[in-house]
Chain A
Amino acid sequence: MLHVDMDAFFASVEVRRRPELAGTPVVVGGAGNRGVVTSATYEARAYGVHAAMPTARALRLCPTATVLPGDMALYAEVSRSVMALFRSVTPLVEPLSLDEAFLDVSGAGRRLGDAAQVGEYLRARVYDEQGITCSVGVAGTKFVAKLASTRAKPDGLLVVRPAEVIDFLHPLPVGALWGVGAKTEELLLRLGLRTIGDLAHVPVRTLQRAVGPAAGAHLHELSWGRDPRRVVPDEPERSTGHEETFATDVDDPAVVHRELLRLAERTAGRLRAGGWLARTVSIKVRFADFTTITRSRTLDVPTDVGQDLYETARALFDALGLDRARLRLVGVRAERLVPAGSAPRQLQLGEREHGRRDAELAADRAARRFGAGAVRPATLLHRDRDRRVRDRPGG
């Protein structure tokens, strides 16, 4: 079992695109006073920057960091190439997100050597082909392989052989166990269970009384390195989308519409990069008081065209009948995805041979050559200026 995890994935892809940033702190994340970090290079992490931290705080910790907005379509494309490379080694690839996957390489052994050799081979190929590094954990179970890759980071490989599992596992904090979140961790610490080893030596019944029968049994098994889960290959991506937290709460429907257009365009770019069509479009609206609602509509015809996503998203938003309610966040998602290549497409009467879709495909190509946003809807052209104005401190 291999767990492969790209090192600082989004940030590494950005550094590859802009080599002059190599060796410097780079942060990918939302700008503005509410943006959060989605990825940071190890140089930035040295200052204490980590993902999910507000960008503003990251900049206070590391004022020299370069903050980049992120280019999901590009990351999705790199991810697709990497996953394709994995699949050339074994069909049993289970992507967990854009930047990590489990691989069952028990069948690849004869051709490429043992699992560790396969791991080194993949690390070399990823670096050759994509110019980014990744870390690999090798173990008999998914759970231990994932912990091993975390330990191997950055740019490393760690093999945990069956005989070494207990020694590897037991010194780790209980929070490292799969299924232990903040709440369970707090509970376990209160019981004096600090490490996985502590937990392993508590009778199952005691553990079950503390955290419930199912979770107790599950944690006990994991603490002894037993994880029967197998690699489930090719879980198809079920949805994709983008959301934006406004720099300040917004009540102007024109601003919301423009944001929905931008999010729809980005979501469509990601669909096209991944070769998907969306059957359902959903929007998410979070009000100033954090109440959040979602609405969705299934399309007559699956699409990967930003304009189609936008029209549906806008109709869903308008149907809420919000009377200038103050909004904190809006999001657009494409759901119930179907592969574009194999999907029949209902044509429209009077459809031009080269329609909006072709325009957006051309924009994708321009973006690959000249950078994200090289070509975009005219409605979005003034956005950067708006944003600078809105982001001005005290503005």
Chain B
Amino acid sequence: MEFRVTREVLADAVAWTARSLPPRPSVPVLAGILLEVDGSQLSVSGFDYEVSARAEVDVQAAESGRVLVPGRLLAEITRALPPHPVDIRAEGPRLSITCGNARFSLPTLPVEDYPSLPAMPSSAGVVDSDVFAEAVGQVAVAAGRDDTLPMLTGVRLEIEDDRVTLAATDRYRLAVREFAWRPETPGISAAVLVPARTLADAARTLTSGPEITVSLSSGGSGEGILGLSGKDRQTTTRLLDAEFVKYRAIMPSESSASATLPVVQFTDAAKRVALVAERGTPLRCEFTPGQVTLRAGGSDDEGQAEERCDVEFDGDPLTIGFNPTFLLDGLAAVHTGRARMDFTSPLKPAVLSGVEEPAADDADGGRPAERPGSYRYLIMPVRLPG
């Protein structure tokens, strides 16, 4: 194997692949990155039996071949190379990397022991990469991080013809977002549970092209694979084999009060007040017509904080407590200037959503129209003592 490649292109591809390498590989070869040259194309791959990543790069190839090299070391080296073309060549059991005056020689790993990457399943449809990245980011924030409850660490992906719905919950909040896509087969219907961390990572880093192709294996339960392909990058992840909660039943169908709040001001106020809220203690929100008063802390040996913020409020005055992190996560995910919160009671979930704004003229500060889409973020309140 022998080829020449642009330094930037190589470093990007290796760094992207290296992110999905397992920190503590179960078998030593899984710490490797597989370099394969075929024709004028280099593919850079990593795999840990759960997630596979494969980046493709154009190279000037002198000789085809396959080499497995220690992944993290390769990533560190390519990131540090000087800005010159890079020459890479297999030399017996070692790999030589030459760039400008720098020369590296790395040991290789036994390529014949490396597992073959799962085949990319057939395409299910195509979605705009920006829409996908935003939607996944908005929803994955609500997924649980506790690996002992696998069904809560996933994002539910539901496909109904030309609509896709994403949902995730950690039992305390639930985020749901719907968007349009272009299915391969009209009338397609499917629902899978995708590991949230992997999905969020893939969606965020596959935005170099305008579109992402979503692929689903049609295997039986437990064998499912989701594939995501963007420009020159593709990744697969094994699906979670678990039931997802019946989340539609949790969505409140009506509300008895609602507030419309300026997201930036309210977020800043909540962050300030939350500074005194020790772990596990809530942020108290007292809504009255025209304003909300945020409070935290309280007992004698803790700090106390309080801040008022102007909001529109419609309904009977209401005092409700939230875990500050849950509230701030939701506020950061609505992506609009103003957000709406709907309430039923201080012990029932509150629903956060974006507020649609028409485009403003230049005279009003020149703001593009905001269409919040279908994003909903439910937060289960904290029952306040007393």
Contacts and interface: CB of A to CB of B under 8 A. Distances in A.
B174 interface: yes
B170 to A, nearest CB: 8
Main secondary structure on chain B at its contact with chain A? loop
Given A347-B381, A348-B380, 8 more contacts: A311-B148, A344-B280, A344-B321, A344-B383, A345-B382, A349-B172, A349-B250, A350-B249
B171 A349 contact: yes
B281 interface: yes
Interface in B160-178: 169-174
29 contacts: A279-B280, A300-B170, A301-B280, A302-B280, A315-B148, A319-B148, A338-B280, A342-B385, A343-B280, A344-B281, A344-B321, A344-B382, A345-B382, A345-B383, A346-B172, A346-B323, A346-B380, A347-B383, A348-B171, A348-B172, A349-B169, A349-B171, A349-B172, A349-B245, A349-B250, A349-B378, A349-B380, A350-B245, A350-B250
Main secondary structure on chain A at its contact with chain B? mixed
Nearest to B385: A342
3 smallest beta-carbon distances between A and B, as pairs:
A315-B148, A345-B383, A347-B380
Nearest to A342: B385
B327 to A, nearest CB: 12
A341 B385 contact: yes
Given A349-B169, A349-B172, A344 B385 contact: yes
B230 interface: no
Contacts of B383: 344-347
B349 interface: yes
A343 B169 contact: no
Contacts of B378: 349
Contacts of A301: 172, 280
B360 interface: no
B347 interface: yes
Interface string A336-358: 00100111111111110000000
A100 to B, nearest CB: 28
A350 B383 CA distance: 15
Given A279-B280, A300-B172, A302-B280, A347 B245 contact: no
A311 B152 CA distance: 15
Interface residues of B, number: 26
Interface of B: 146, 148, 169-174, 245, 249-250, 280-282, 299, 321, 323, 347, 349, 378, 380-385
B24 to A, nearest CB: 13
Given A349-B378, A350-B249, A343 B172 contact: no
Contacts of A344: 280-282, 321, 382-385
A160 B335 CA distance: 74
A347 B347 contact: yes
B377 to A, nearest CB: 12
Interface in A304-337: 311-312, 315, 318-319
A349 B175 CA distance: 12
A311 to B, nearest CB: 8
A57 B120 CA distance: 68
Interface string A109-139: 0000000000000000000000000000000
A89 to B, nearest CB: 25
A300 B170 CA distance: 10
B30 to A, nearest CB: 19
